[in-house]
Each structure stands twice: as structure tokens, then as C-alpha cells.
Amino acid sequence: MLALGISAFYHDSAAAIVGDGEIIAAVQEERFSRRKADAGFPVNSVNYCLRAADVQIADLDYVVYYEKPLLTFDRLLETYLAFAPRGFRSFFRALPIWAKEKLFLTQLIRDRLKELFQEDFPSEKLVFSFHHHSHAASAFYPSPFERAGILVLDGVGEWATTSIGRGAGNSIELSKEIRFPNSLGLLYSAFTYYLGFAVNEGEYKVMGLAPYGSPTYVDAIITNLIDLKPDGSFRLNLEYFDYCTNLKMTTTKFDALFGGPPRLPSEPLTRRHMDIARSIQSVLEEAVLRLGRTVYQETKEKSLCLAGGVALNCVANGRLLREGPFEEIWVQPAAGDAGGALGAALAVSHGAGVQRRHLAKSPRDGMHGAFLGPQFTDAEICAFLTRVGAVYEVLDDQQVIEKTVDALTEQEVVGWFQGRLEYGPRALGNRSILADPRSPQMQRKVNLSIKYRESFRPFAPAILAEHLSQYFDLPADSQYMLLVGQIRPSWHVSPPPDETDLTGLMKLGVRRTEFPAITHVDYSSRVQTVHEATNSRFHRLLKAFHSRTGCPMVLNTSFNVRDEPIVCSPEDAYRCFMGTEMGVLVMGTAILYKSNQWPLSH
Amino acid sequence: MINLLVQLGRYARAYRKYWMIPLWLMLIMLGGLIVLIEKSTFAPFIYAIF
């Protein structure tokens, strides 16, 4: 049973291929097209998936689209009807794209596949999954759990914005849902917009900004914006939101409540912005905790699977794990809409009776560490480097590790390009930028000289899984960097820094722990645990760094610069290396030092 | 187009939304008209109508 899942036409297009329930490949189109959150038909991703599975289009049993377009169209129409005549302009802006493309998705997908493979794909093999069922399938089927509660939280798909249910064996049942326009994802996105960040992209910046502020607006949000019930269900006050009728998220009433118009991206971040970020983050966490308790009461399952864009909020996930009723939590690493492609393919495969065979294997998680994208051989990497005239050395495996540790301890920032590309928004040690987390200057250096991004944003540690409990207060592994934990007090600097007069970004440069580059201002960290079974070379690198320095973790951030997708190919990596102040690039067994290179124009 | 109409019919039956059928048809025609307006070869004809 071969199923190809596709998500496309909204944002974050992707394709995934599943063979007899086993995930063979999955990749986001942006990684090939180099357009962030590319919404086009995932031509390159589909092509790659078929190549990775070594099959032809005719071999596919199903192509599955990740949502039901008619339901979405129905939601749009009913929303416009409910608000008419308001929203007239945005409705007429949306209508042509529906009349031209989205209502004819069956034909559109078949046409695209025909253009790609020069043969007709039968319409009876093209099927559509519910948006939240795709998310739920992406969370439950690859999880290590025989049975689990399921919580799906996102902006909106067709109608559902929040779904709860249960997965057991081969089946998923979503029993309750909250519908558009009431949406935690859209609530958080409204604040993302208000704080001057891009909707669907900047939500993690709001999460990163939150610890700098105080939750002074929580009451204002709870009193005016959201009616949050004890069971986690909620209703938004639409007087404050404009997304139903307009192309912006908030109204002037919202602006008045929070003391001014939305921040422009070029404007500086003030204490007020930080307090707002902290407040909405607190409200979101409270809602997620309540919903988690409701899932537990409804299902009595000891494990929980999470998906949907809101499940990328690792601070809320960490709280749910620590304070919630569940013993274990598993979050789909591609929790956003890109993961819908994988979920759609899994839903059809398991719906047809394919068994979850990964449960009998070790590790029990079926995601293969999320390393599901393209890889390049050493020969391909060297051929490219030779072609562009790069100066490089090819080393044996042990030398690669040792030389990389040398560079890290010499405070160099290292581009680390290995094996298969990660699926989802996090770089997990195959397309990563690495640095020494003990350095007090490293956070600033990587933000401003390498990533060219906002100075306030924190970095994550990748730590040997076996050392997790020694360093972080986190009761479970966090293989996909989707849980936030606190650094244990034994690693805090003594005496603690005097921060009484410090507010907002003034807190940034203060050294709080032995690992300042990965410690956020509230002593938290978005942890990634590294396991030998899923990434052996990265694990060996961390072990070597540990034996040399006594520190079992490195700073790990995605291999890209601001507003660009994570690198995919050796060419992308080389360009990024040459265009930034990165000192060393390791690709497979080849190592490049910036000081030895000609400028890129050469 | 026929395929779409069949799908809309099935959808209306499954979700008991027969009342939306006239609206859908009207909007599809309107949408089609807007698409035609966007294509320059049809524009003079459309402008002449209005």
C-alpha cells in the first residue's frame, strides 16, 4: 500500500510518501524552491518522494490531499454571509482564486501530476482527508504509543480549530471540536500581527519575546477577548478581531485595549510589547492545560499526542508535560500544515488496515528522527565543492568529529550538514549551525553575525539524551526540540545576577548559568535530546565535545539566515556559509575553513 | 465543471445544505466572470457589457 500525501495551496506545501505504513520520505517544498513557506503545488517534493521510494506514479495506490476544499469553501461562504455586507472587499478578492483553482483541486492536482510524470493519474485514486484528521494521524500513527489521547490545535482548516479524541491501534476517533471563528491559533496569530511579526511565521518570535515581559495584560485578555471555560473550551469576542471580514487580524477596538496601533516591523520592541507577548503566552498555556485535562477526562489515556500549528509552542507543551495529567506526550515534529501531508498519507494507509509495525521496533517512534528529506553522498558533496572552487579537506569519520570539536572549542560557529534533511521547522542535527553554549558572547554573535535576526531570540541546546536529567528539569526526552524545560539550579551562576533594575531587552546580556548561549532570560531552554539510534554521527560529535570539555551539549540552530528556508543541498549550505560570518563548514566528511576560501564572487 | 457540480451536489446531500446550492452556482458564475475580466483578451468584451 503506497500513499502519497500532499499539502498545498495555503502555506507550507509539502509531500510525504508512506509504504505499508512505514514513512519513506517527507519534505517541504520551501526547501527546494527556496521560498519561505512556499504555498505552490509541491512539484519538487513529490518528485523527490517518488525517487526516494523508488516508485513510479502508476505504482501509487493513493494520492491524498490533506483537507477537504469544499468544506473550506463552505466555511468561507457561511462566514461571509454571517458578516455581510462587511468583508465584501476581501470576499471578492478571494473569489477568483476559488473559481480558478481551489474548487477544482481534483483536476488541478491531476493536471500537475500529469505535467510532472506525463501520465494520467486516475481520479478514483485521488482522495481527500479532513484537515484535523490529517493532523491527528500525523500525531498518533508515528507515535510510540499503542493508544493515546489526541489534541489538535491550529488556526483553522475546514471548520475545526481545536479537536480532541483518541487513537487506539489502527483507528483514530475525534470526538469533540471547537469551530471557526473561535481559534487559539488565530488568537495567537492576532497578537503576532499586532506585535509586528508575520502571521504564520512569527508566532515563535512572540513565544521567544514573552519571557522578557510581565503578564500584565492577562486580565484584559481574559475579560475582553476570550471566554475561557474550565474545560478549556472557549469563545472569542469578535469585536476585537478582523480576520473574518478583512485582510488584517485585529480591529481598532483591539488597538485601544492594548494602548496603541499594531507595531510596525521596523519599530523598536518596547516593554509594552514584551508584556503583551508574555500575557498572550500565559493565556495560551492556560487554555492548553485545561484542554489537556479535558482530553484526559474524556479518554483516561496516560499518553497524549499533539499536532496542529499551536503544538509547535514548546513552552506550552513543556508545561503540559510537567503540570498536566499525562505521563507521556508526543508531538509531531512537523506539527504545522506541512505535517498534514504526512498525516493524510498515514490516515489513508492505516484506514486501509495497514498495521503500525514501528511499535515492535526500537526506537518505537516511527518518524526516523524526522530525518526524511534528501541526502547527498560524499562524492556529490565533493563534486560540488570542486566545481565551485572551494578549498576543502576530506577526512575520515573520526577526524571530522575531532576537527569539529576543535573548531567549537576555539569559539568558531560551525555549519553542520549531514545525512537526510529534517522534516518540520526544526533543524535537529543534520542541517544545523552549531556553537559552544558556554560562551557568553555566542548568543549575540550567532544572532547578529550569522543568522542576521532579532537579538532577543534565544537558542536551543542539543544535549546527549543520557545527560538530560543532570542539566534540565524535563521529565521526558525531547527528540524534536518541542519541549521547554528549566536549567537545573546547580548550573546557575552564584551569586545570582542582580536584575532588579533590568527590564526588557536589558536582561539579554546577563550571564545566568554556565551555558549562557542557550539560557533564556527565565532560565528556560528549548531542549533537543540527541539519541544514538536516530543520529549516530551527531551523537558522536556531542560525546567527543563532552569528553573534551565536560559539557554534553552544543548550541543548535537551523542552518539558514533570517527569512530563508533551512538549507537543503550542498549548494544552499555553501552559499549560506560564504554569505555569513560562519567560520567552519562540515559537509559529510568534507571540512571547509572560511579563512581558506576565496570570496563567493570568485 | 460537471465534476465540480456533482461534488457540490454530494456535499449538499451529505451535510444537508441544499439551501446553499443557488448561492454556490451564482458565486461560481461570478467568480468565472471575475477570472475572465482578469484575462486581457476578454476584457474589452466585459467592459462593453458594463
Q: At which residue does the C-alpha cell 512505514 appear?
A: A22
The CA–CA distances, whole Å, from A553 to A143, A223, A381, A436, A490 equal: 26, 43, 27, 8, 16
Residue A190 and residue A108 in one domain: no
Q: Which amino acid is at A546?
A: H
A93 lies within 8 A of chain B by CB = no
pLDDT of B3: 80
pLDDT of A506: 76
Mean pLDDT within A8-22: 95
- Confidence band, pLDDT 50/70/90 cuts, at residue A1: very high
pLDDT of A151: 98
Residues of chain A contacting B34 with CB distance shorter than 8 Å: 92, 95-96, 99
CATH of the domain at A400: 3.90.870.20
CATH of the domain at A102: 3.30.420.40
Pairing of strands A226-228, A234-236: antiparallel
Residue of A65, A67, A70 to mutate, interface with B, max B Cβ within 10 Å? A70
pLDDT of B50: 42
Q: Does some domain include residue B26? A: yes
Residue A124 and residue A18 in one domain: yes
Residue of A71, A73, A108, A130 to mutate, interface with B, max B Cβ within 10 Å? A73
Residue A302 and residue A404 in one domain: no
What is the number of alpha carbons within 13 Å of residue A471 lying toward its C-beta?
27
Q: Does some domain include residue B47? A: yes
pLDDT of A494: 81
- Confidence band, pLDDT 50/70/90 cuts, at residue A602: very low
* Record: contact B24-A104, CB cut-off 8 A: no
Residue A429 and residue A572 in one domain: yes
Burial of A230 (0-12, 13-18, 19+ CB in 10 A): exposed
* Record: contact B28-A104, CB cut-off 8 A: no
Residues of chain A above pLDDT 70, percent: 100
Q: Does some domain include residue B30? A: yes
C-beta of residue A333 within 8 angstroms of C-beta of residue A429: no
Residue of B1, B7, B39 to mutate, interface with A, max A Cβ within 10 Å? B7
Residue A324 and residue A341 in one domain: no
Residue A412 CB contacts under 8 Å (≥ 6 apart), including other chains: A435, A583, A584
| Helix %, strand %, coil % of chain A (to 5) | 40, 20, 40
Residue A236 and residue A315 in one domain: yes
Q: Does some domain include residue B50? A: yes
Residues of chain B contacting A71 with CB distance shorter than 8 Å: 11
Q: How far is A45 from chain B (nearest CA, A)?
A: 27
Residues of chain A contacting B32 with CB distance shorter than 8 Å: 99
Q: How far is B50 from chain A (nearest CA, A)?
A: 18
- pLDDT for residue A19 is more than 60: yes
Give strand ranges (E) for A312-412: 328-331, 393-394
Do you know the residue count of chain A? 602
Nearest to A104 among B4, B23, B30 (CB): B4
Residues of chain A contacting B20 with CB distance shorter than 8 Å: 74, 77
Q: What is the pLDDT of residues B1-50, one digit of tens each?
A: 788 888 888 888 988 888 888 888 887 787 777 777 765 554 444 444 44
> Considering only alpha carbons, which residue of chain B is nearest residue A96?
B31
Residue A243 and residue A101 in one domain: no
Residue A524 and residue A497 in one domain: yes
Q: What's A422's DSSP letter?
A: B
- pLDDT for residue A600 is more than 70: no
Burial A509-538 (b: 16+ CB within 10 A, else e): ebebbbbbbbbbbbbbbbbbbbbeebbebb
Residue A569 CB contacts under 8 Å (≥ 6 apart), including other chains: A374, A376
Q: What is the pLDDT of residues A193-212, one digit of tens each?
A: 999 999 998 999 999 999 99
SS3 of residue A343 by DSSP:
helix
A593 lies within 8 A of chain B by CB = no
Residue of B26, B34, B39, B46 to mutate, interface with A, max A Cβ within 10 Å? B34
Q: At which residue does the C-alpha cell 499533539 appear?
A: A306
Q: Tell me which residue range forms the domain holding B27.
A: 22-50
Residue A493 CB contacts under 8 Å (≥ 6 apart), including other chains: A511, A512, A513, A514
pLDDT of A103: 84
Q: What is the pLDDT of residues A244-279, one digit of tens each?
A: 888 789 999 999 999 999 999 999 999 999 999 999
Residues of chain B contacting A77 with CB distance shorter than 8 Å: 20, 23-24, 27
Nearest to B34 among A70, A99, A104 (CB): A99
Task: Estimate the crossing angle of helix A69-83 against helix B21-38, to 10 degrees.
Answer: 100
A256 lies within 8 A of chain B by CB = no
A77 lies within 8 A of chain B by CB = yes
**Upstream peptide bond of A363 is cis (omega within 30 degrees of 0):** yes
Residue of A88, A90, A95 to mutate, interface with B, max B Cβ within 10 Å? A95
Q: What is the DSSP string of A288-328?
A: HHHHHHHHHHHH--SEEEEESGGGG-HHHHHHHHHHSS-SE
Nearest to B34 among A96, A104, A107 (CB): A96
Question: Average pLDDT, whole number, for chain A?
Answer: 94
Pairing of strands A147-153, A160-168: antiparallel
A106 lies within 8 A of chain B by CB = yes
Beta-bridge partner residues of A513? A492
Residue A308 and residue A405 in one domain: no
C-beta of residue A241 within 8 angstroms of C-beta of residue A248: no
Q: Does some domain include residue A154? A: no
Number of domains in chain B: 1
> Considering only alpha carbons, which residue of chain B is nearest residue A92?
B31
- A:B CB pairs within 8 Å: 39
pLDDT of B41: 53
Q: How far is B21 from chain A (nearest CA, A)?
A: 11
Residue B14 CB contacts under 8 Å (≥ 6 apart), including other chains: none
Nearest to A350 by CA among A153, A195, A179, A136: A136
- pLDDT for residue A222 is more than 90: yes
Residue A294 and residue A353 in one domain: no
Q: Does some domain include residue A87? A: yes
Q: What is the pLDDT of residues A24-73, one digit of tens each?
A: 999 999 999 999 999 999 999 999 999 999 999 999 999 999 999 999 98
A151 vs A494: which has the higher pLDDT: A151
Residue A241 and residue A107 in one domain: no
Nearest to B17 among A74, A96, A103 (CB): A74
> Considering only alpha carbons, which residue of chain A is nearest residue B38?
A96
Residue A571 and residue A431 in one domain: yes
Q: Tell me which residue range forms the domain holding A25.
A: 2-66+68-128+337-365
pLDDT of B49: 44
pTM over 0.90: yes
Nearest to A345 by CA among A64, A111, A568, A562: A64
Q: What is the pLDDT of residues A396-431, one digit of tens each?
A: 999 999 999 999 999 999 999 999 999 999 999 999
Choose the weakest-confidence range: A81-85, A188-192, A309-313, A510-514: A81-85
For residues A518 and A525, give the distance between their C-alpha atoms in angstroms, rounded to a whole number: 6
- pLDDT for residue A175 is more than 60: yes
Contacts 24+ apart (CB under 8 A), A499-504: A503/A271, A504/A212, A504/A213, A504/A269, A504/A270, A504/A271, A504/A274
For residues A504 and A507, give the distance between their C-alpha atoms in angstroms, rounded to a whole number: 6
> Considering only alpha carbons, which residue of chain B is nearest residue A103?
B4
- Confidence band, pLDDT 50/70/90 cuts, at residue A95: confident
What is the number of alpha carbons within 13 Å of residue A473 lying toward its C-beta?
12
Q: What's A282's DSSP letter?
A: H
Beta-bridge partner residues of A483? A527
pLDDT of A2: 97
Mean pLDDT within A440-445: 90
pLDDT of A289: 98
Q: Does some domain include residue B9? A: no
pLDDT of A420: 98
For residues A507 and A120, give the distance between their C-alpha atoms in angstroms, rounded to a whole number: 60
Q: Which amino acid is at A21?
A: G
For residues A444 and A517, give the distance between their C-alpha atoms in angstroms, rounded to a whole number: 8
Q: What is the pLDDT of residues A293-309, one digit of tens each?
A: 999 999 999 999 999 99
Number of domains in chain A: 3
Q: Does some domain include residue B4? A: no
The CA–CA distances, whole Å, from B49 to A96, A236, A450, B42 equal: 19, 44, 58, 11
